[in-house]
Amino acid sequence: MSRPILAVDVDGVISIFGFDEPPLPEFARFELVDGVVHCISLRAGERLRRLAERYEMIWATGWEDKANYYLPTMLGLPELHHLSFDGTARFGSAHWKLGPIEEHCRGRALAWIDDNLDQSCFEWARQRPEPTLLMPTAPDRGLEEAETEALLVWAEGLGPGS
């Protein structure tokens, strides 16, 4: 069996926003991405590198192929498979990602990190026959250590090679 898939959103997970005080430079840096300033969490990069040891990671973001253009260099990650959403991206929810995620991940255990998971996402996860974990993040903090540890423990609980 193969490793579980980890679907990774970018905005609100790696690119943080809505904070009162900007993060310290050793934790995040501001980067220009297609003419838009993003606050990229360097800690999220470290945490994703740890998660990559246990998961097959994919980009599940409206950034689509742009994630591979910018983020591997910024965060020290390899290029990842990216899902295509065919222009259906909508700000404020993640339900528009369900079809492509299901199609790509069918038959595989899946964890999904996103800051915009709504009730339809949780209902979908409960109905999947494969093990599924949704991991919400706060957009002003992104992927934190608690979520990273929970994802590692969950993957470990699936057993070897699952």
Q: What is the pLDDT of residues 111-139, one digit of tens each?
A: 999 999 999 999 999 999 999 999 999 99
pLDDT tens profile 36-80: 999 999 999 999 999 999 999 999 998 989 999 999 999 999 999
- Percent of the chain past pLDDT 70, that is, above it, reads 93
Q: Which of 162, 11, 87, 14 is nearest to 99 (CA)?
A: 87
Is residue 162 assigned to a domain? Answer: no
- Nearest Cα to 133, choosing from 46, 7, 48, 35? 7
Contact present, 142 and 13 (Cβ < 8 Å)? yes
pLDDT band for position 94 (50/70/90)?
low
pTM: 0.92
Q: Which domain holds residue 131?
A: 5-157
| CATH label of the domain that carries residue 91 | 3.40.50
For residue 36, the cross-strand partners are 33
Give the model's pLDDT for residue 162.
Answer: 55
- 151 to each of 7, 46, 61, 110, 155, how far by Cα in Å? 12, 14, 19, 10, 6
CB distance 58 to 81 below 8 Å: yes
Amino acid in the structure at residue 39: C
Q: Are 39 and 17 in contact (CB under 8 A)?
A: yes
| Angstrom distances, CA of residue 27 to CA of 7, 40, 46 | 23, 9, 10
Task: Provide the b/e sequence for 16-36 (b: ≥16 CB within 10 Å).
Answer: beeeeeebeeeebeeeebeee
Residue 153 located in a structural domain: yes
For the chain, the domain total comes to 1
Give the model's pLDDT for residue 93: 60
With cut-offs at 50, 70 and 90, classify the pLDDT of residue 86: confident
> What are the contacts of 155-160 at 24+ separation with CB within 8 A?
155/3, 155/4, 155/54, 155/55, 155/109, 155/111, 156/54, 158/4, 158/109, 158/131
